[in-house]
Chain A
C-alpha cells in the first residue's frame, strides 16, 4: 500500500541555519504530495503541495520538489527562524487532491534556537 517515510526528529537548528527534512514515499499511482505544519497549540495547516513530477511547491520560504525518480519530496528552507519551530508532516494523496484520503508520515519536530 501507499506510505510515507520522513526523517525522525527532533531537529534542532540555530536561527538562520539551512533546513532539510527528508521525505520519501511509496505509491502505486501518481499521488499528490504535501507538507503540512502544526504549530504549538494549533491545528494542521497546509504548507505547500505538488501535484505532479518535477513540480516545486513553495510557501513562506519553504520549498519541496516532487522527484518521481527518487520517490522523494524533501522540505528545505534556506534560513530558518524561531517562528518556524513546529512539527512538519509529509503526506500524499491518491488521485486528485482532497478527494481521496491523505496518508501522513510520522512527523518531524523542528526546534529553532535564537
Chain B
C-alpha cells in the first residue's frame, strides 16, 4: 500500500475488555515497531519485530500486552483486561532500514 495503515482508528473499551489493534506495514518493510503515545507526550517504544521475529519487547508495560507478526507482515498488538491507564494512541511504524514510516495510530480509550 501507499503507507502504513492501522485499524481501528478509534477504539473505546470498557475496563477489563480485551482489545486487538492491527498494523499493516508498507509492503516489503522488514522492521516493524509499536509505540504508545500518551496525551501530550512523545511516543514510547513498546516492541520491535524483524520479519516475524520479536527482537525486543522491553517496552511492553505488563504481561497484559502481547504483540505478534506471524508471517512477517501484518502485526497485531493485543491488550488483555484493559485498564484506564492503557488509554493512549498506539502507533505502528515500519522501515526497510533507515527512516521509520508511521501509521496514523489507533486511539484507545478505556472507560
Interface positions of A (Cβ within 8 A of B): 4, 42-46, 49, 89, 91, 96-107
Q: How many residues of B contact A (CB 8 A)?
A: 26
Shortest Cβ gap from A98 to chain B (Å): 4
Interface positions of B (Cβ within 8 A of A): 4, 31, 33, 35, 40-45, 48, 50, 56, 59, 91, 93, 95-100, 102-105
A89-B98 Cα distance, complex, nearest whole Å: 17
A-B contact pairs, 11 of them (CB 8 A): A4-B42, A43-B4, A43-B103, A44-B102, A45-B102, A46-B99, A96-B97, A98-B95, A98-B97, A102-B45, A104-B42
- A46 contacts B100, C-beta separation under 8 Å: yes
- B33 contacts A101, C-beta separation under 8 Å: yes
- Quick one: which of A49, A98, A105, A106 contacts B40, CB cutoff 8 A? A106
